[in-house]
Structure 1
Amino acid sequence: MAFIHNGKMDWYQRYPKDSTAHSVSRPGYTFILGGLLLLLALYPVLKTLSNQLHSALTGSYVAGHHSVILINCPNEQVAKDIGRSLMERRMAACVNILPRTATMYYWKGEIQDATEILLLVRTRTSKVQTLTEYVRSVHPYENPELLSFPVEDGSLDYMKWIDEVVPDQPHTPT
């Protein structure tokens, strides 16, 4: 806004620099930025807690809380060893060992034919990465098949049973 005083045009500031236009200090901005960064860092935890609270209050299932994992093994003995080891370590609530399957796959540029045994593993989704790393360390294949699928819905009693059998915290076999 401008006004004329003694024949000269002066510019009038509605809000002087030292007024409310700059009321948040540098430490205030730092605090706000730090709070936002903390909120972003805690987002996964807060989301999980809110989903669990919603599930507890409504009795509904939180989609993706559990997973099914497929693992191919070269023979029944390897499948049993891996399955039992997962159970002993409380990484899985249940392991099905499905009978011989005919498998065709590309390996090192060629089509391979094989028979394999398929493991069908049920666990918490939070355990998938740990379970995958463990299986890779004990599996005889150079690049074992480990495919995880989140469970979208199912029997609530069955899902609660998985949670009882597979604890959140790491378990070491006795």
Structure 2
Amino acid sequence: MEEASDYSIVWVTAPDLKVAHDLVKEVLALHLAACAKIIPGIESHYWWQSQLESASECQIVFKTRKALMAALGEVIQAHHPYEVPECVSVAMQAGLPSYLQWIDQETDQSPTNA
């Protein structure tokens, strides 16, 4: 494994599979992430407008470069149905060199690199 401080994992929730698939297609079409995993059937509990809420949602996990996180966030904000969508990132600590190179190759075509 090698140090991976230039890479991030971005977590986004979606209200259902259709929205999750649409968001993934949009982000991947722009090469803002190398891949995305959709995890259906998560249960979220949260405060919203002073009310305790719960919902069944999908979790999307994107793998990307830190340099693309702002653009990825803008796409999520523009296409997400929630007023305040969850879009948070965590830094990768380490990864296999071949995997990190693959992320570079697949995201090198993003409009932010043009």
Which residue among 154, 161, 164 is the counterpart of 2:102? 161
The TM-score, its normalising length taken from structure 1, stands at 0.61
Task: Give % identity.
Answer: 29
Structure 2 residue ranges without an equivalent (≥5):
none
Number of matched residues? 112
Equivalent runs, 1:53-132 vs 2, <5 Å: 61-132=2-73
The TM-score, its normalising length taken from structure 2, stands at 0.93
Per residue, is there more helix in 1 or in 2?
1
Any idea what SS the aligned residue of 1:67 has? Answer: strand
Deviation at 1:164, TM superposition (A): 0.3
Any idea what SS the aligned residue of 1:82 has? Answer: helix
Amino acid at match of 2:59: L
Rounded to whole Å, the distance in 1 between the matches of 2:40 and 2:83 is: 22
Deviations 1:9-54 (A, max 9, x none): xxxxxxxxxxxxxxxxxxxxxxxxxxxxxxxxxxxxxxxxxxxxxx
Deviations 1:82-123 (A, max 9, x none): 001111110110000001101100000010010000000001
- Give the aligned partner of residue 28 of structure 1: none
Structure 1 residue ranges without an equivalent (≥5):
1-59
Rounded to whole Å, the distance in 2 between the matches of 1:169 and 1:117 is: 25
Amino acid at match of 1:72: T
Rounded to whole Å, the distance in 2 between the matches of 1:127 and 1:76 is: 24
Deviation at 1:63, TM superposition (A): 3.3
Question: After the TM superposition, which segments of 4 or more aligned residues of structure 1 sit over 2 Å from their partners?
Answer: 60-63
Amino acid at match of 2:93: E
Relative distance call for 1:169 and 1:116 in structure 2 (3 A) is closer
Rounded to whole Å, the distance in 1 between the matches of 2:19 and 2:110 is: 27
Q: For the Cα contact (< 8 Å) 2:3–2:95, is it kept in 1? A: no
Per residue, is there more strand in 1 or in 2?
2
Amino acid at match of 1:76: L
Give the greater-gyration-radius structure (CA).
1
